[in-house]
Chains A and B, each alone.
Chain A
Amino acid sequence: GAVVSQHPSWVICKSGTSVKIECRSLDFQATTMFWYRQFPKQSLMLMATSNEGSKATYEQGVEKDKFLINHASLTLSTLTVTSAHPEDSSFYICSATTGVKGYTFGSGTRLTVV
């Protein structure tokens, strides 16, 4: 089946630094990828949608200059949290789709900013 590999699974960084999270579709071409943020015991909150070769579409309230998304190829999308602060600490999940029938999720990244 379709597999999305997400790295790193957890990361601790100092306040003010940047962190990059990668999502790769291993055995299929992901035309669209989604980035979610999840707080403990809450649902997934969509941050942005990215299509290969074009700029990401951000949800209302999401700072596009803080959360940089790049979808340079059909198999790779990256989320960079720039100038991270403690309030950016969260669980980030990517998801890829090739159509309405199939949504595959990465294993998530737990970000802690100290």
Chain B
Amino acid sequence: AQTVTQSQPEMSVQEAETVTLSCTYDTSESNYYLFWYKQPPSRQMILVIRQEAYKQQNATENRFSVNFQKAAKSFSLKISDSQLGDTAMYFCAFPPGTSGSRLTFGEGTQLTVNP
């Protein structure tokens, strides 16, 4: 079975500091994509970053970067220079199986950025 685990239900960080959110997953596939989504209080799901499993280089999007460890099946999200607008629920997700298959989500991590 394909599973995604986020072991940190809640985290907090001071504005301008760095925080890392953890995610582990399990799959028998060799090639797949991994995603981090954020859901702010508006509840709109927003793509933060995407990683292709066959690429060794970690994905980066401005202040957001990932630490992808394929052998360990780990996919953590690092947020640098945290901003108040980063306060949101963060979900790790991946589409196991074939192209276009449904996303499997982790339980989520509620991140609060404090001023």
Q: Which residues from chain A sit less than 8 Å from chain B, CB to CB?
A: 31-32, 34, 38, 41-44, 46, 49, 91, 93, 95, 97-101, 103, 105, 107-108
- B103 proximity list for chain A (CB < 8 A): 34, 44, 95, 103
In contact, B45 and A43 (Cβ under 8 angstroms): no
Q: 16 A-B contacts, Cβ less than 8 Å apart?
A: A31-B100, A32-B100, A41-B108, A42-B108, A44-B91, A44-B103, A93-B43, A93-B45, A98-B100, A100-B95, A100-B99, A100-B100, A100-B101, A103-B47, A105-B44, A108-B43
Q: Is the interface of B mostly helix, strand, loop or mixed?
A: loop
Q: Which residues from chain B sit less than 8 Å from chain A, CB to CB?
A: 32-33, 35, 37, 42-45, 47, 50, 89, 91, 95, 98-103, 105-108, 110
In contact, A44 and B105 (Cβ under 8 angstroms): yes
In contact, B102 and A41 (Cβ under 8 angstroms): no
CB-nearest residue of chain A relative to B37? A105
A107 with B44, Cβ < 8 A, contacts A41-B110, A100-B100 known: yes
In contact, A43 and B43 (Cβ under 8 angstroms): no
- A95 proximity list for chain B (CB < 8 A): 45, 103
- B105 proximity list for chain A (CB < 8 A): 43-44
- B99 proximity list for chain A (CB < 8 A): 99-100
Given contacts A38-B43, A100-B33, A107-B43, 11 further A-B contacts (CB under 8 A): A34-B102, A41-B108, A42-B108, A43-B106, A44-B45, A46-B102, A49-B102, A97-B100, A100-B100, A100-B101, A105-B44
- A91 proximity list for chain B (CB < 8 A): 43
In contact, A108 and B108 (Cβ under 8 angstroms): no
Distance A93 CA – B39 CA, assembled complex (angstroms):
12
Chain B's nearest CB lies how many Å from the CB of A32?
A: 5
Distance A82 CA – B40 CA, assembled complex (angstroms):
30
A43 with B107, Cβ < 8 A, contacts A101-B33, A108-B43 known: yes
In contact, A43 and B101 (Cβ under 8 angstroms): no
CB-nearest residue of chain A relative to B108? A43
